Amino acid sequence: MKRLIAQALSLLALLVAAPAAAQAVNTGHIEAELVARDRFVTPGATTYVAVRQKIDKGWHTYWRNPGDSGEATSVRWTLPEGWSAGEIVWPTPERQPVGPLVNYGYSGEVLLPVPITIPASAQVGETVTLRAHATFLVCEEICIPEEAQLALALPVGDGLPEPAPRWGQAVARTLAQAPRPAGLTAAFGREGETLRLAVVGEPLKGADFADAYFFPFETTVLDHAKPQAIERGAEGLTLALAPGYAFQAPDAPTVLAGVLKVGDAAYEISAAQGPLPPAAAGLGPPPARAGGAGGPGLGLLAAAGFAFLGGLILNLMPCVFPVLAMKAASLAGHAHEAAAARRQGLAFLAGVLATFLLLAGGLIALRAGGEAVGWGFQLQSPPVVAGLSLLMLVVALNLAGVFEVGTSLQGAGSGLAGRSGLAGAFFTGALAVVVAAPCTAPLMAPALGWALTQSAPAALAVFLALGLGFALPFTAAAFAPRLLARLPRPGPWMSGFKTLLAFPMFGAAAWLAWVLTVQSGPMALARLFVAAVVLALAVWMLGVAQRRRASGGRPLALAGAGSLLAVAAAAAVLWPAYDAADAADDSGAASAAVPYEAYSPERVAALRSEGKTVFVNFTAAWCVTCQVNERIALSRQAVADAFDRTGAVYLKADWTRKDAVIEAELARYGRAGVPLYLVYGPGGGEAVILPQVLTEGLVIRALEDATAS
């Protein structure tokens, strides 16, 4: 009798069993909790538990592929022994235009179901507690990382599970509506700058394609901000897509996988590269547009604004300091001749804009031809670096008084309006741009990254805005008579000032010589030093010839010999070609306080699979900002201790010479140049991008936060 009563009580407990009400956690902009599909679970079966997000109005979180920016929600489970959790079943996302970008995610309320497998050894009648650590990136105009520790008690029963009373049907509905394979056939092909994705199958016959859209699983395969053109076919549709950064790499994708949304339905598809099925296109009205992102005008204005501000800030970057000396000399020499100062300012502006547009045109042309190049590309060429080093040497010798170009500073008051003065200002502007190229100021990176994915006119407009910002301070000063009036009048003091200004240019020449050593090794440096000595002798002979001419002598032979020597010096650094094999290979050296390894995508993937925190430094020897960051932040003992403490691995991606793999990875993050600093946490997810100007504390916090995530 007692046994019968016990069985009856057990059956009654099973009938009323339900998951214990989970405690919702408010993370700041999300109310999060774990909710179950089933009232109870049975041994050896699979159930679903969802992470419920109730997101504040106007805010959003992200899908598995966040699009142009953002980070997907992640969940780390702590389960009883023998229990296991699968991957998130992602509902179909929404498109979220943000300025020139398009992201993918969720707003309002969303359930993210996760399959939970119960071991056969689970005891009927027990209640187990599932725990999860959820991390969210929730965004409005700003993005805030938030997290929650969630828990849910689940009873273990026997028999056929029933829906949980509160959330069971909602979880089941989310699972039923989630994208899944449906027997569709898909293929894609590339036609110039367009990817054509064709999909056919029974579910698409008669479907409404008005708002059809393809959400790729991988972040870099498509340009998410570009519209997707739709062409209806007899048994499906064809989408015209803009390829992303992944298709700029040598190992371009051969499979496009993602979610095709058609009306209220969504399907998982995997398209192999190959012939397109003809039934996917050819019928219906002209191609429609879906998924636009704010329009190209808004994108261009935002990019141009960032570029203009970045150009202003570029004047403060270390690589421009040597040319600031030439600017200062020019301002001082023309401070009290208002009309001449204005002409000098406009000539400097013209030199800056012409050189920016020339570099931009070359960059665009090279990328259109398939070259993996970015901002500062000219300094990846050893002959260009060697030539610039000699040019800086010549400028320094000129400032030191070895020879003169045009009107000297001592006689500046009498010849300010001369052609040579304006030509000198133009040359100063051009040279300022050339030496500024190794630097990427804050706000420049997103602007240039956007520009290099657009049409040539749009890209040139962004570079023009960058040039205007860069030239503005000097040009504006030339039109400010009250400011110029505060400078001392030209006089004998300017001779000493001019000589003093030669030393920053000597420093620039030495720095470029060091860059050449990193690129091409000690033999290249020997060539450069020989050329430098010959060139120095040449300009000294030209200086002697100038002084003889001034005293009435005959300097023709001396000037001719100097010119020949100058030509010989230039030829010495241009031919023969530089051999990259001569460069010292220090990819595994630990010369700084923090040991590092050479970067490769495969090494990043291997370290992440081992659960390591990974710090990646995209750098170049010619990037002065990079070198300053390495000295003031990455070579400090406290940072080395942080690497040891967190177990983080330091990878260095050296872009001193052209490297298509590094170029593709920079493009993936919307960057056209270095520096770029990425931190990958051990728990997976997208990398955290650090600012372009590092501090010791910032690096330490980034490593600690990533390891704790």
**pLDDT of 487-524, one tens digit each?**
666 566 667 777 887 887 888 788 788 877 776 767 77
With cut-offs at 50, 70 and 90, classify the pLDDT of residue 109. Answer: very high
Alpha-carbon distance 310 to 302, whole Å?
12
With cut-offs at 50, 70 and 90, classify the pLDDT of residue 699. Answer: very high
Question: Which pLDDT tens digit goes with each residue over 22-43?
Answer: 678 999 899 999 999 999 999 9
Taking the alpha carbons at both ends of the chain, their separation in whole angstroms is: 56
pTM flag (> 0.75): no
Question: Which pLDDT tens digit goes with each residue over 148-198?
Answer: 999 999 999 988 888 898 899 999 999 999 998 888 889 998 887 889 999
Q: Which of 453, 512, 414 is nearest to 669 (CA)?
A: 453
Among the ranges given (7-21, 201-215, 666-680), the one the predictor scored with the smallest mean pLDDT: 7-21
- For the segment 594-618, the average pLDDT, to the nearest whole number, is 91
| Per-residue DSSP letter, 222 | B
Is the pLDDT at 415 greater than 60, yes or no?
no
Amino acid 534: pLDDT? 82
Amino acid 87: pLDDT? 94
Domains of the chain: 18-164 (2.60.40.10), 185-293 (2.60.40), 297-381+406-498 (no CATH), 597-708 (3.40.30.10)
The more confident residue out of 324 and 131 is: 131
The more confident residue out of 660 and 482 is: 660
The string of DSSP codes covering 67-130 is: ETS----EEEEE--TT-EE----PPP-EEEEETTEEEEEE-SEEEEEEEEEPPTTPPTT-EEEE
Amino acid at 164: A
- Say which residue the tokens 């993005």 belong to: 143
